[in-house]
Amino acid sequence: MTPALPKRPYLLRAMHQWITESGNTPHVIVDAGHDGAQVPRAYVKDGKIVLNLSEGATQRLRLGNEDVEFDARFAGVVHHVRFPVGAVLGVYARETGEGMVFSEQDLGPEPPKHPTPAEEGGPRRPQLKVVK
């Protein structure tokens, strides 16, 4: 049985498309303190940042399964922005406020941890037996 895929990247892409095709401006709320979040820190407030993901505000926007990545201008200065999909707290249309808030369940199950050799009691050495 294949593991369940996380819903969040698919929901994010679907909401982004719906908001854009409705003629509105898609914005995301991102947890700026999330591991791997590379956002302009000067615009972070209360640990979060709101980012405009419209075609006119971004260049090279990529809404991937693992990360969201794009270039954008902040006060005239181009910044490369990248953050894990797990850092996205919600997506909404600026004009109407319609959108979606994500829950931890949207990330899907955590992948199983494989124990390292050290956790298993160290590397196993081959054992030989004398057979007569």
Domain boundaries, the chain: 26-107
Count how many residues are written for the chain. Answer: 132
Given a contact cutoff of 8 angstroms between Cβ atoms, the answer to whether 84 and 63 are in contact is: no
Query: Cα–Cα distance between 129 and 54 in angstroms, integer?
Result: 68
Q: What confidence score (pLDDT) does residue 2 get?
A: 73
Query: Cα–Cα distance between 98 and 76 in angstroms, integer?
Result: 29
Q: Residue 120, exposed/middle/buried by CB under 10 A (0-12, 13-18, 19+)?
A: exposed
Q: What confidence score (pLDDT) does residue 108 get?
A: 55
Query: pLDDT in tens for each of the 132 residues of the chain?
Result: 677 888 999 999 999 999 999 999 999 999 999 999 999 999 999 999 999 999 999 999 999 999 999 999 999 999 999 999 999 999 999 999 999 999 876 555 544 444 544 445 555 566 666 776
Q: What confidence score (pLDDT) does residue 63 get?
A: 97
> For the domain 26-107, what is the CATH superfamily, name and number?
SspB-like (2.30.30.220)
Q: What confidence score (pLDDT) does residue 124 get?
A: 58
Q: Nearest Cα to 106, choosing from 92, 93, 88, 94? A: 88
Q: Nearest Cα to 37, choosing from 27, 49, 45, 46? A: 49
**pTM score > 0.85 for this model?**
no
Q: What confidence score (pLDDT) does residue 104 get?
A: 73
Query: Cα–Cα distance between 19 and 55 in angstroms, integer?
Result: 12
Query: Cα–Cα distance between 109 and 18 in angstroms, integer?
Result: 26
Q: What confidence score (pLDDT) does residue 118 get?
A: 46
